[in-house]
Amino acid sequence: MTKTAWVFPGQGSQAIGMGADLYSLAAAQAKFQQAEQILGWSVPEICQNLDDKVSRTLYTQPCLYVIESILADLMRDRGEQPDLVAGHSLGEYVALYVAGVFDFESGLRLVKRRAELMDAASEGVMAALLGFDREQLEQQIAQTPDVVLANDNNAGQVVISGSIEAVDAILANVKAKRAVKLNVSGAFHSPLMAGAAAEFQEVLDQVEFRAARVPVLSNVDPTPATDAEVLKDRLNRQMTGSVRWREISLQMPEAGIERVVEVGPGKVLTGIIKRTCPTLALVNVSTLSELPTPAPVA
């Protein structure tokens, strides 16, 4: 059997109309209704809103969690199972759900609070850099207070996060093929999120974590783990810690993974992974039509 990892994208992969082909499925309808009771608003309505409400953090994170969870459930209904899971930022919550660490409702309640706190963040900015000198970037970050490497996606694509002045200083001093500030409310995955992280911990402490059924590679510590307390501690550090996706990608071949399935809208993660691990077979499941054929009944 080919060892397979499932990966789940985070904020930035959302799109107007995502999940539209799921609305008519009875199993999906049940999840959407459950989500509406928890959230107080409709995931399908937000995703179909032409004013791009789905790109506001408050809505983006719960919408991605719900749609990715439904797709993962449909995968499992068809006889598919991962040998390893990982998620990019928000996607880590879906990975933990799929690994059986908490149930759908508990995960969505965590994501709802996380989205509220991050949407309310107003301090700092984030910027993406593509095609840069890594050594120069790391030197500049080390010399500049109040800025960190927030997302280390692959060798040529990163996101920095910090105060406006610090991020501007990095952009002025590091040559890059492309550098762009992100349309987010605050400096996510940086120490500037410490206040929000402290509030979030109060909610996280109330959720019981179970041992994972399959190993999870966490954003802040990209080594396989199944222990409930370890996974909870890692998630607790995620809001202020860096997303170490390049290292997560490198861990997959080390763990014997040969195939990676990105479950969720878009092809962000497979595009990132391809550069780091070109030998891995990459598959995308973002719509019903991309789901695998159901396994034959014996």
Q: Which residues are catalytic?
A: 89, 189
* Torsion angle of C-alpha atoms 69, 97, 36, 118, degrees rounded to 10: -100
Alpha helices (H) in the chain, listed in sequence order: 26-39, 43-48, 57-77, 91-98, 104-120, 134-143, 164-173, 194-204, 228-236, 245-254, 268-276
- Tell me how far apart the alpha carbons of residues 195 and 188 are, in angstroms, rounded to a whole number: 12
Those residues with Cβ within 8 angstroms of residue 257's Cβ, 6 or more apart along the chain or in another chain: 3, 4, 5, 83, 84, 280
Locate 81 and state its tokens.
């199972």
Nearest to 109 by CA among 184, 56, 42, 34: 34
Q: Are 95 and 216 in contact (CB under 8 A)?
A: yes
DSSP letter string, 206-245: TSPP---SS-EE-SS--S-B--HHHHHHHHHTTTTS-B-H
Those residues with Cβ within 8 angstroms of residue 13's Cβ, 6 or more apart along the chain or in another chain: 64, 264, 265, 266, 268, 269
The amino acid sitting at 166 is A
Nearest to 238 by CA among 193, 279, 282: 193
- Tell me how far apart the alpha carbons of residues 25 and 60 are, in angstroms, rounded to a whole number: 22
